[in-house]
Chains A and B, each alone.
Chain A
Amino acid sequence: MKTEIRETSSQNTEFLLKEANQAKANALRRTLISEVPSLAIEDVKVYENSSVLFDEILALRLGLIPLKTELNEFKLPEECQCNGEGCSACQTTISLGGEGENILYSSDLQTGEGIEVPIKDIPIVKLVEGQEVILEAKAQLGTGKKHSKWQPVVACSYKTYPIQEISEQCNQCGECVETCPRNVYKIEDNELKTPNQEKCMQCEQCVEECPQNAITITDDKTKYIFTFETDQSLTPKQILQQGTKQIKQKLQEFKQKLNQQT
């Protein structure tokens, strides 16, 4: 399996997965969603809350705020030497306080060293005169299979690599050029070409419109165009590295168990 990065930024990435198959591509997708750990608020201790939101809703809103951290600085609570009771190796304290006429944003969270709130403008609760919120929260590492607040990717998907086959019957009438919603086709030097081949979404509108029945759409079963967006708690690179590490680890565990059985 090889990858070819097409486009990457702090939040989005698109890459081509080569020499793969459907099973591998889907394994990667599922791992990125449910197995890559990230940090999120888990336990909330509410000291004072006279805002319009119930304590529970406030806690839910806090849990969904992405937190940025280095993965090797924390351990998953179930793998920690404290057996999930909570120690400095597996959790960190975050506090929030505010009163009077204002809105509390995610940037108002007081985090410990090494923890950053990447998205500063998430409103948590709106307060009016005389209302007050004081709370303390504990953030832990977790995975998306337990709760979606620990999911580092938000839109994670892949599509098969589309191929437009143009037969010799094509007379360059230009019907497909006009009808294609993704502008895949172009007529150049009396020849129909596909400059935007990867943009094709296999809607087969060109196949229907072509008077010569010259176009067939198929796909390359060994190539996948993979895209995902992060919630900014980890970079796309970290997520991919961690994801492939998890797959490898799971396969090794599986192999070990098989060997024990036989």
Chain B
Amino acid sequence: MGYRCARCKEDVEIDEETSGVRCPYCGYRILLKKRGAQPKNIKAR
């Protein structure tokens, strides 16, 4: 599951071993989880 940087809007993959939760392009530490490709089925009640 990919993430998106909240500042530079770049697609980011988290690398737990080296940089951790950090955008490799701008260094920002707030990353937003992207919505899955599958549509979500919900009951309306």
Contacts and interface: CB of A to CB of B under 8 A. Distances in A.
Interface of A: 40-50, 55-56, 59-60, 62-63, 136-137, 147, 149
Contacts, number: 40
A117 to B, nearest CB: 15
A149 B40 contact: no
Contact of A147 (B39, B40, B42, B45): B45
A42 B39 contact: no
B40 A45 contact: yes
> Which 7 pairs show the lowest CB-CB distances between chains A and B?
A63-B44, A59-B42, A59-B44, A46-B40, A45-B39, A47-B39, A44-B42
Interface residues of B, number: 8
A170 B35 CA distance: 78
A164 to B, nearest CB: 46
A43 B35 contact: no
Contact of B43 (A42, A47, A49): A42
A66 to B, nearest CB: 13
Interface of B: 35, 39-45
B44 A48 contact: no
A221 to B, nearest CB: 39
Contact of B42 (A46, A48, A149): A46
Contacts of A59: 42-44
29 contacts: A40-B44, A42-B44, A42-B45, A43-B42, A43-B43, A44-B41, A44-B43, A45-B40, A45-B41, A45-B42, A46-B39, A46-B42, A47-B39, A48-B35, A50-B35, A55-B40, A55-B42, A56-B42, A59-B42, A59-B43, A59-B44, A60-B44, A60-B45, A62-B44, A63-B44, A63-B45, A136-B39, A137-B44, A149-B45
Contacts of B39: 45-47, 136
A112 B1 CA distance: 36
A55 B36 CA distance: 13
B45 A43 contact: no
Centre residue among B35, B41, B45 by max chain A CB count within 10 A: B45
Contacts of A42: 43-45
B44 A44 contact: yes
Given A40-B44, A43-B41, A43-B44, 4 more contacts: A44-B41, A48-B35, A59-B43, A62-B44
Contacts of A62: 44
A149 B44 contact: yes
Nearest to A148: B45
B41 to A, nearest CB: 6
Nearest to B41: A45
A137 B44 CA distance: 9
